[in-house]
Amino acid sequence: MEYQHWTIKEAMNRIGAKKLYLPAIQRKFVWDALQIERLFDSIMRDYPIGTFLFWMVGEAKHNDYSFYEFIRDYHERDHWKNSLAAKPHLPDELVGVLDGQQRLNSMYVALQGTYAYKRPRVWVNNPNAYPVRKFFLNVFKLEKEEEDEDYIYEFRFLTPEEAKEITPETYWCLVKDLLECKGLAEVNKYWAKQKKQIPHVLEVPETTDEHALDILGKLWERLTTIPIVNYFPVKNQNLDEVLDIFVRVNSAGTVLSKTDLLFSTIVAQWESGREAIEEFLNKINEKGNGFRFDTDFIMRACLVLAECPVRLRVASFKAENVKLIVKDWKLITAAINRAADMLVEWGFEGATLPSANAVIPIAYAIKRGCDIKASKADLRLLLIKSILTGVYGSSGDQVLSGIRKAMQETVKDGGAFELEKLEKKVRLPSGKSMAINEETLDSLLLSTKGPRSFALLSLLTPHLKFNQVQFHQDHIHPYAGFNTSSLQKLKLDDNEIRDWQAKRDTLPNLHLLEGKENQSKLAVSFEIWLKKECSTNIDRKTYLRSHHIPDVSFDLSDFAVFFEKRKSLLKEKLARLLNVRLKMAP
């Protein structure tokens, strides 16, 4: 099969006649106005604009797949999603765009529609914030590239008022008008009519007049006579094979990630899938202080919770598996939603959740009908141990599969989830384990400020009301006190200074503070802050005990003693919480 060719006008006519569609494996239209303007500059300069890949869909397959229509009138706030094509009205001759969606939809918006984007420094709810703009060409601009510009031909999306501007260097012609011209003679008539709009006081040189006509003629040729849309037709009717072609074409660039492409296999077989998944992601990502769940997470969660093979590949999303996901969608989302609520209750958010995969087993236990009240403590511990061991860092699909299999044997409807039973049953890939020994615990005690230190601190302070207040990790001995000049005044040598500065950001020098308290503490010494916050000696002892802070000197000069005492306290407490057997001291 060889490459075939259309003119831009032919492509636009096919879109308008609803013979050219976007398969559901395509993503949303995302090009901004500047990208579209530069595309038409490239067309005028005879720059290559890339080839296209079109899927020639047989009539017998029309109802097997979902298709989207091109956007004509784009609105950044109100109309930025492609509409689903109504299947009964799909034409006999149907072409799906596998590669080139952004370029074709950009042309369609520019040549047949409008583009409304937000005006700068105007409130979103202002009725004039998104003026409707059409696509124009400045025919008075000279064909040369200025130093501060990367274009020669000046295309712009303009409001009706902006398009009325006429100066010796500016005259805007609506690009769409050129498509209506049937030949160069009509282009000449068009320009003759346009010239009547020029004020008599504005003297236009003959060379400018001729230049404008030349530019319009050139644009007309590129839109209507030169076959710029070069495409390769794909006649294969098998979705898996078409998707494989799509992956091969797109994965070489940065247009789509592998996850996006695999996600498309769901929405290609589930008409409302894209909207349902995006709506659900928005909902759970807004919980608490915000999460960062994405389509990768949703896809894996769907595979696990719908009892499908847990591998992100095309075969996992074959038709029967997608049907299972759709059938269980309400149960799946309810379980994930409940799991996200529990994360909020435990104080976690996007910044402190290094792997979204760690949430999936919690949702799976919920969907299996575990007694949530009786299971909550062990589910929280499962999450924390997953974060501490980094068990999902690689081979995540195999880890999830192993945990699911163990849960199938240990979690019963109405029963409690017990982490100890799971750990005895689970079989993880070689080198993976959620078990924590003393050596691992010693390493964790030196965790620097981040997700692991937060997980450990949250485990140590279950009394904090995480679902009501946002807590920050705060330095007990303030960060500012560890600058080199301050430590030199304490008569520390270079090695000791480096050692103290390294220990400054680790777990023994961290505790959780309410956000407002953290702001008020900042560089204030811990001793002074503690006296201000704890008015009585009983309050002081209660705070230190509840945060596992030794009641020793908090003078910075005694930092080494404080650090070792706190580390020892934390090790003893965490060993009990994480079921770590410690060796007896010699």
pLDDT tens for each residue of the chain, 586 residues long:
688 999 999 999 999 999 999 887 666 788 999 999 999 999 999 998 988 989 888 776 666 677 889 999 999 998 888 887 877 677 777 898 988 999 999 999 999 999 999 998 888 888 889 999 999 999 999 887 665 567 899 999 999 999 999 999 999 999 999 999 999 999 999 999 999 999 988 888 889 999 999 999 999 999 999 999 999 888 877 666 666 666 666 554 444 555 665 676 677 678 788 889 999 999 999 999 999 999 889 999 999 999 999 987 767 887 788 899 999 999 999 999 999 999 999 999 999 999 999 999 999 999 999 999 999 999 999 999 999 999 998 788 999 999 999 999 999 999 999 999 999 999 998 888 888 999 999 999 999 999 999 999 999 998 888 888 888 999 999 999 999 999 999 999 999 999 999 999 999 999 999 866 555 566 788 999 999 989 899 999 999 999 999 999 999 999 999 999 999 999 999 999 999 999 865 4
In a domain, 241, yes or no: no
Same domain, 414 and 490: no
**Which pLDDT value is given to residue 246?**
65
**Which pLDDT value is given to residue 118?**
92
CB-based contact 393:352 (threshold 8 Å): no
Tokens of 223: 């839109």
Residue 169 to residues 91, 141, 204, Cα–Cα distance (Å):
46, 6, 9
Same domain, 276 and 363: yes
Residues 6+ apart with CB under 8 A from 567: 445, 507, 508
In a domain, 582, yes or no: no
Same domain, 273 and 165: no
As a whole number of angstroms, the distance between CA 110 and CA 549 comes to 65
In a domain, 252, yes or no: no
Number of domains in the chain: 4
As a whole number of angstroms, the distance between CA 452 and CA 578 comes to 14
Work out whether strand 114-116 and strand 73-75 pair parallel, antiparallel, or are unpaired. parallel
CB-based contact 58:106 (threshold 8 Å): no
As a whole number of angstroms, the distance between CA 569 and CA 551 comes to 11
Same domain, 112 and 145: no
Tokens of 21: 């569609």
As a whole number of angstroms, the distance between CA 433 and CA 56 comes to 49
Of 374, 405, 435, the one marking the end of a domain is 435
Same domain, 19 and 76: yes
Same domain, 419 and 489: no
In a domain, 383, yes or no: yes
Of 435, 458, 485, the one marking the end of a domain is 435
In a domain, 239, yes or no: no
Same domain, 187 and 261: no
Same domain, 278 and 410: yes
Q: Provide the greatest CA pair distance for the chain.
A: 103
**Which pLDDT value is given to residue 270?**
81
Same domain, 334 and 192: no
Of residues 372, 363, 345, 571, the one with CA closest to residue 456: 571
Residues 6+ apart with CB under 8 A from 13: none
**Which pLDDT value is given to residue 91?**
78
In a domain, 39, yes or no: yes
DSSP string, 93-127: SEEEEEE-HHHHHHHHHHHHSEEE-PPTT--TTST
Same domain, 289 and 414: yes
Q: Roughly what angle, to the nearest 10 degrees, separates helices 33-44 and 101-112?
A: 90
Of 204, 224, 244, the one marking the end of a domain is 224
In a domain, 150, yes or no: yes
**Which pLDDT value is given to residue 255?**
45
As a whole number of angstroms, the distance between CA 459 and CA 70 comes to 51
Same domain, 283 and 367: yes
In a domain, 444, yes or no: no
Same domain, 458 and 547: yes
Supply angle C-alpha 259, 265, 267, rounded to 5.
105
Give me the domain span that covers residue 311.
257-435
Neighbour tally for 123: CB within 10 Å: 9
Supply angle C-alpha 8, 13, 14, rounded to 5.
100
